[in-house]
Chain A
Amino acid sequence: MNSIQEMTHFVSLNDRDLTFFISKIRIKKLPGPWQYMGKQVFAFHRYLKGIIMFRRYSPLWGKKPELRPSYDAVIIGGGLHGLSTAYFLARDHGMKDIAILEKRYIGFGGSGRNTAIVRANQRTQENVLLYKEALDLWPVLTRELDYNLMFNNCGNLNLLHSEAAINSARMNVATAQFHGVESHLLDPVQVKEMVPALDISEDITFPVYGAMYHPPGGTLRHDAVVWGLARGAAKHGVHIHQNTEVTAILRENNKITGVNTSSGRIKSPLVLVAAGGYSAAIIYEMLGIKIPLSVLTIQAMVTQPLKPLLNHVVSSGAYHVYANQTLKGEIATGSHMDPWPNYSTQTTAHYIKHQAEALSELMPCLRGVKFMRIWAGLADMTPDMAPLIDGNHQIAGFYLNCGWGYFGFKSCAATGKHLAEFMATGSCPDILKPFHLRRFEKHRFMGETAEIVNYSPNN
């Protein structure tokens, strides 16, 4: 038994004891601050304040705004792309009259369901630029929003399990280096030095041939980004309307005129659909426009919390698994998609089995560790695994930003920044031009994957 195996055997930190303790507290009998030998040892009143905080909840982004009858711009979807677009529209383009309309609550969809990984080692140069900018933006936004986004640039380690995979990774590395993104190849021994828990022997189904290492990537707390951007946007005057469902997008003479919502009609010359996995259905249902998307359910899960054993985001295409250890100690891991369209967020035993097999082969010390939670979200997949960003194309004033599949989180800040410029000026910035919807008629696919992946319905 090696040391890591030992570690994981008796480190499952749980807060059962704490829960028991709390359940025994009777609020009425509480003394003042706890004292021992005349010194305050435990600020119980502060602890109570923490409990009360949950009762008198008021959102960071201020009180619920009144729905105005008209706005300069309406954004459908209170996810990260919508929030960041609103934030930059208000901050950089002086647009003060913006409404974000969210059917449920902000961060309900992919924004709160992703596994919080950020990186800029994509395959095509059009994509790399966008993701690189997003990666550079996190520390800037942390300061600017005055909100800790918990950016942990621990680096991404992409395991390669064949000569072909290494050759393919060479191209990714070359693209990254060309654009000034740090990325390089490692051999199995170097990989083992970085992540001792990995099995680099030949005894596993897909032995490790090497890895692509991308140091500036890492993880970011996704909820913090939602809350930080929401607060930032609200400070600049953006109205965030939760529990407000858009029921129709209105147009006249091929121009956007507004939207109907569950709380009334809103006039607006600009409408952006940034509703993540729900965008495709909304756009077809409300405007009759078909877009090249398939919406699939994607699943992820976390194990029980463990002592630190994984200091990088590790991923493997062959095992179809990626894993990183959260700051709480859980191994967060994904990600399986059933390859057919599905708007439900059901999870499957099939996947739990797959994930347990893959993880315990790659990192044998995880055998016997329990999964704590599993959840699912929606991934809107394009045939070329690159997003759809378009505006003023079918209808003047109609913008769409979707098709991110499972990459939407990594790019939200940079995309929002440039999309804000697009919406404010009406002309598409160069960095977003490649993601135009017309690329499919022109047969100009992005080539974000070397071949169509087997979990896509386009295969």
Chain B
Amino acid sequence: MALTLTCPVCGKRNGYEFRYGGEDKGPRPAEGGLTPEQWCSHVHMNKSVAGIQKEWWVHRDGCGMWFTVYRNTAGNTEVPEHDLSLKSQNRDGEA
């Protein structure tokens, strides 16, 4: 769907070469004292932001690199990190 992603190794490539790896939820929680709710939250629960979110991708049909990008889910476009401060989190995908 007209998605282009920037792989840190291969540069800008067609979105279909990549596999989505989920929202960036921070590091895996420590196992000591971990409750089922916390684990469930880390594994399954999503913010499902309609706007810019940080997310994981893997270059499945390329170099195999895992990396994070910022993408606007409302307009389905990658947002370069240096543009983040310029764009507000607008649900309609407009800057």
Contacts and interface: CB of A to CB of B under 8 A. Distances in A.
Contact of A341 (B20, B37, B39, B91): B20
B26 to A, nearest CB: 13
Given A339-B20, A441-B37, A457-B20, A348 B48 contact: no
Interface in B43-72: 44-50, 53, 55
A440 B44 CA distance: 8
B2 interface: yes
Interface in B21-45: 22, 36-37, 39-41, 44-45
Contacts of A442: 36
B16 A350 contact: yes
Contact of A292 (B16, B44, B75, B93): B44
Nearest to B93: A344
Given A346-B76, A350-B1, A441-B40, A340 B49 contact: no
B19 A339 contact: yes
Interface residues on B, range: 20 to 34
B74 interface: yes
Contact of A338 (B1, B22, B36, B75): B1
User: Which one of B73, B75, B93 has the highest number of Cβ atoms from chain A below 10 Å of its Cβ?
Assistant: B73
A445 to B, nearest CB: 10
Interface in A28-51: none
A342 B47 CA distance: 13
Contacts of A343: 50, 73-74, 91, 93
Given A440-B44, A441-B37, A297 B1 contact: yes
Given A293-B48, A294-B48, A344-B93, A441 B20 contact: no
Q: Is the interface of A mostly helix, strand, loop or mixed?
A: loop
A3 to B, nearest CB: 39
Interface in A420-459: 440-442, 457
Interface string A263-283: 000000000000000101100
Which of B15, B37, B39, B45 counts the most chain A CB atoms within 10 A?
B45
Nearest to B92: A343
A318 interface: no
Contacts of A346: 1-2, 76
Contacts of A339: 19-20
Nearest to B39: A441
Interface in A374-429: 380, 383
A290 interface: yes
Contact of B41 (A290, A380, A383, A457): A290
Given A350-B16, A441-B37, A442-B36, A284 B1 contact: no
A380 B46 CA distance: 11
Interface in A306-351: 338-344, 346-348, 350
17 contacts: A290-B45, A293-B46, A295-B73, A297-B76, A340-B15, A342-B76, A343-B50, A343-B73, A343-B93, A344-B1, A344-B76, A344-B93, A347-B1, A350-B1, A440-B40, A441-B36, A441-B40
Interface of B: 1-3, 15-16, 19-20, 22, 36-37, 39-41, 44-50, 53, 55, 73-76, 91, 93
